[in-house]
Structure 1
């Protein structure tokens, strides 16, 4: 895993955060180019857009902005933020290896560019095209770019969940082959 500039040929991403001025009018707080972390020999890159650390979020006096910055400074974020949300953009190289994993979260995965196969434990992969949305509910899953030449991009919004019990078994986060590379979330205690 490394920090780097964007590695894919897809258009750059800029995060624009809004807030209110002293008169209560909407203004732009900041506009920041995405910063990328690469994984798996640059076959995948993550860019963290924003986090919240409680639900519902507290926007008073920009408390959410302070909590987001504090989380980044402390470098304690896994895939999921306990009691909060995470928004990230992920670029997938052509033919990227599929990292099957489970997070303790409810995720919305939206295809922005290219095509992605959603791979689950059983059944055939589901081909998702630009604009398609996956509602991933704490299942073992992975994402694979089936193209041999084109990059793909998704945006994910992950929300912490109550402990999940299926068939009498409490399910836990499972980072699969990403264990030791991806930071654990710590929300499955």
Structure 2
């Protein structure tokens, strides 16, 4: 699936304009072959409009408290790809996806917990949302998930890639 990003903004007179329009290349690594993350946009807790910063500004895999991240992810079929936790793959993942590896559990690949509320929308294919208590739900195109900081994994049990759009909102976790 091709992902295109269109960004609006303002000109010097304050009029609405299109700042950019381009195809987005996926970030891919060897931790999970076939996993593609299209990094679209992020905000910090003190972001303002009109936007005056970089256009492709995602520099951490999960948002800071009060920040947000928008991305599209393609998940490979589980039977075609397994997690590779070799030292080389871990080092590469730390470089390509800063902050991701610290949230993954090598004893339960794919399971992770973040300090975020995530809105996930299935665009193509089907994927299971698995929770740490063993419950799971099959998600199909049009399924929308509100993931409230729970320990979970996205598992593609089909024979085709599954693609989801995500908006992550960084929040504080109550202890």
Fold match (TM-score > 0.5): yes
Asked whether 1:30 is paired with 2:13, we answer no
Task: Identify which of 120, 137, 142 aligns with 2:131.
Answer: 120
Structure-1-length-normalised TM-score? 0.69
Structure-2-length-normalised TM-score? 0.74
Task: Identify which of 38, 45, 63 aligns with 1:47.
Answer: 38
Query: Structure 2: 5+ residue runs without aligned partners?
Result: 83-108
Distance 1:128 1:41, change over 3 A: closer
Q: 1:143: Cα distance to partner?
A: 0.3
Computed over aligned residues only, the root mean square deviation of the Cα atoms, in angstroms, reads: 2.0
Q: For structure 1, which segment, 106-115 or 15-24, has the greater mean C-alpha deviation from structure 2 after superposition?
A: 15-24
The residue that corresponds to 1:157 in the other structure is 167
Q: As a proportion of its length, which structure holds more strand?
A: 1
The residue that corresponds to 1:86 in the other structure is 69
Q: 1:123: Cα distance to partner?
A: 3.7
Q: Could you tell me how far apart the structure 1 residues matched to 2:8 and 2:157 are?
A: 36
Asked whether 1:138 is paired with 2:162, we answer no
Q: 1:147: Cα distance to partner?
A: 0.7
Q: Do the aligned residues in 2 keep the contact of 1:107 with 1:159 (CA within 8 Å)? A: yes
Q: Do the aligned residues in 1 keep the contact of 2:69 with 2:167 (CA within 8 Å)? A: yes
Over residues 52-103 of structure 1, what are the superposed CA-to-partner deviations in whole Å (9 max), with x where a residue is unaligned? 0126x4113x24x34x65x55xx4x132234310011100112255511001
Over residues 100-137 of structure 1, what are the superposed CA-to-partner deviations in whole Å (9 max), with x where a residue is unaligned? 10010010011010111001011431001101111001
The residue that corresponds to 2:140 in the other structure is 129
Distance 1:81 1:32, change over 3 A: farther
Query: Structure 1: 5+ residue runs without aligned partners?
Result: 1-10, 166-189
